[in-house]
Chains A and B, each alone.
Chain A
Amino acid sequence: MAEVSAGEPDGEHAGEGVITTRALTKRYRGGQLAVDGLRLTVPAGSVFGFLGPNGSGKTTTIRMLMGLIEPTSGTAHVLGRPMPRSARAVLPHVGALIEGPALYGFLSGRDNLLRYDAADPTADPRTRRARVADALDRVGLAAAAGKKAKAYSLGMKQRLGLAAALLQPRRLLVLDEPTNGLDPQGMREIRTLIRELASDGTTVFLSSHLLDEIEQVCTHAAVMARGRLITQGPVADLAAGARGRLVVTTPDPADAARVLKEQGVADVVVAEDRVTGEAPERDLAEVNAALVTAGVRVRGFGLERVSLEDAFVALTGEGFDVAG
């Protein structure tokens, strides 16, 4: 899927990315800079996590990629073609859930999907009902298909929004907070669905607040803050940017802390029976042996994996507060 086959690929930018932006910038009329010189590359076949605090420019970026908003400057290419100019050729291959689902409350779930499908010029009216039924089935809404959408719970609306994105086979799915409003069981189902779609070769661009969600599902991620891209790359690399911490559980914390310092462990912190520190370069087995040799009774010894959240805080320096 490296090369884009829809129509004549745009020679200039038909690079390796399913989404490629260059110096993409959006300044709103009030002068507020929402997105500032974004250079994003989403590799084909990846599940790409798009992270950032509220107000960091994620949604504006997604809207520019979908041709809803005209960039102030810079370019955005989706499936190798420039947006918003090629929206009509590109968007039939893209399923999108943008800022939550939006439905006609007075129509049934099924009729909502029929309406959205009728808006797609490439959708075959003859297979419409069957495709709608499939999509409803896929998100677990088949039983509620005849109910008016205004009677749906938030989670059901979210599922219906996802179903709209799955009306046709897609090459790219853009999902903005897809598990918002779902119960844990629903979240699991949606994540399973995303993995399933990804294994079929669909590229998934997923924005989320839930870092563990990104960590569980995504192969790649990008982090935005205050309209700028802070970093992007494979999730494993991002998490590896911050080293893990060594954790020792012991009834002799003072002795353990002393021994660990001797062994070259920096930033040793003692909290009741837990002693933690930055993992040293050397083999941890030797550190453990040193503890035991020194007569420290060890209950637990291990490396605490750095979460993406730690990496995220390290990168943005602000956690998930709203950007000012």
Chain B
Amino acid sequence: MSRAEAVRRTSPLWTLGLFRSELLTTFRRWRTVALLGVLAAVPVLVGIAVRIETGDGSPAGGGGGGGGGPAFISQITNNGLFLVFTALAATLPFFLPMAIGVVAGDALAGEANAGTLRYLLVAPAGRTRLLLAKYATVMAFCLVATLVVAVSALLVGALLFPLGDLTTISGTRIGFGEGLARALLIALVVAASLIGVAALGLFVSTLTNSGIAAMATTVGLLITVQILDQIPQLHALHPYLFSHYWLSFADLMREPVHWDDLTKNLGLQALYAAVFGSAAWARFTSKDITA
């Protein structure tokens, strides 16, 4: 009894369908929404704090470029657009990568934990394709998370502070339109800075069947790397730490733009993506799924 429909065709756009399903599933998780909510709240807090602090007209951050708070904070009162840069500088070292670590760490381990991974694989999603869809989704989350911070900061900045032309770090003046374009570019660079953590988190996620363990390990690694980056004796190691060039996005506010550290950052993120992406693939495609 052979059947006419025995050979079922695969739609070439099918991987997109899986990606779409991944995106929907990720963004409908209550946890994802909560993480985005926390990220959106950071610029609100910074904006209100600066507003209260400078209510008497004095500049925030004690003036000058000294070590007072995140980059650009002293400029916010002059131009609300600077709240975007400040908020990104404030969230990039920890809040943003932590959110990515949670989503990436949970990506496969969480599905294994819930048992849904076995049903996706017998559907059959295909291990490589599922991994690709997961990685694409985590990267999409990087972008959305960064944009949530940037847009929230822009709204708060526009509400609480004046907008207008702005002064770059190099001292030149640029129009508000160009400032906005640079802000978008910076948001994209910040999102790209998170690619390394995303790959690392996804690799950790292939190692365990516990979503919580994978999330904790990824966030733990993030903290460890940040600490290592602070120890001067380890400076030989620093250029290889994924967080080392993170704050280079500020160079986009120079005139002309300093590309050195920016390209090093993007190159390093690509390296992490390649190394840990391959490791995740090697592990996930050969793993016994016992959960």
Interface residues of A (CB under 8 A from B): 1-3, 5-7, 44-45, 63, 66-70, 87-88, 91-94, 96, 98-107, 114-122, 124-125, 164, 169, 171, 201
Asked whether B20 is an interface residue with its Cβ less than 8 Å from the other chain, the reply is yes
Interface residues of B (CB under 8 A from A): 1-3, 5-11, 14, 17-18, 20-21, 24-25, 28-30, 114-116, 118-126, 129-130, 286, 288-290
Complex: A70 Cα to B116 Cα, angstroms? 19
B28 touches A91 (CB 8 A): no
Contacting residue for A119 out of B1, B18, B24, B30, CB 8 A: B18
Contacting residue for A68 out of B21, B118, B129, CB 8 A: B118
A70 touches B28 (CB 8 A): no
Residues of A within 8 A of B21 (CB): 114-115, 118-119
A66 touches B122 (CB 8 A): yes
Q: A69-B289, A87-B124 are in contact. Are A102 and B118 (CB under 8 A)?
A: yes
Complex: A101 Cα to B2 Cα, angstroms? 30
A120 touches B124 (CB 8 A): yes
Residues of A within 8 A of B8 (CB): 92-93, 122
Q: A70-B286, A70-B288, A106-B28 are in contact. Are A6 and B11 (CB under 8 A)?
A: no
CB distance from B56 to the nearest CB of A (A): 48
A99 touches B5 (CB 8 A): no
B1 touches A118 (CB 8 A): no
Q: A63-B290, A106-B30, A115-B21 are in contact. Are A88 and B124 (CB under 8 A)?
A: yes
Q: A69-B290, A96-B122, A119-B18 are in contact. Are A102 and B114 (CB under 8 A)?
A: yes
Q: Which residue of A lies closest to B13 (CB)?
A: A125
Q: Which residue of B lies closest to A174 (CB)?
A: B122
**Chain A interface main SS type:** loop
Residues of A within 8 A of B10 (CB): 121-122
Complex: A143 Cα to B289 Cα, angstroms? 34
A119 touches B125 (CB 8 A): yes
B114 touches A67 (CB 8 A): no
A-B pairs with beta carbons under 8 Å apart, 28 shown:
A5-B2, A6-B7, A44-B1, A67-B122, A68-B288, A68-B289, A68-B290, A91-B124, A93-B6, A94-B122, A96-B122, A100-B115, A102-B114, A106-B30, A107-B28, A115-B21, A115-B24, A116-B119, A118-B18, A118-B21, A119-B18, A119-B120, A119-B123, A120-B124, A121-B11, A121-B125, A121-B129, A125-B11
Contacting residue for B116 out of A87, A94, A104, CB 8 A: A104
B6 touches A5 (CB 8 A): yes
B7 touches A7 (CB 8 A): yes
Q: Which residue of B lies closest to A68 (CB)?
A: B289
Contacting residue for B17 out of A91, A100, A118, A169, CB 8 A: A118
Q: Which residue of A lies closest to B31 (CB)?
A: A106
Complex: A164 Cα to B120 Cα, angstroms? 11
CB distance from B103 to the nearest CB of A (A): 15
Residues of B within 8 A of A68 (CB): 118, 121-122, 288-290
Q: A6-B7, A63-B289, A104-B116 are in contact. Are A91 and B122 (CB under 8 A)?
A: yes
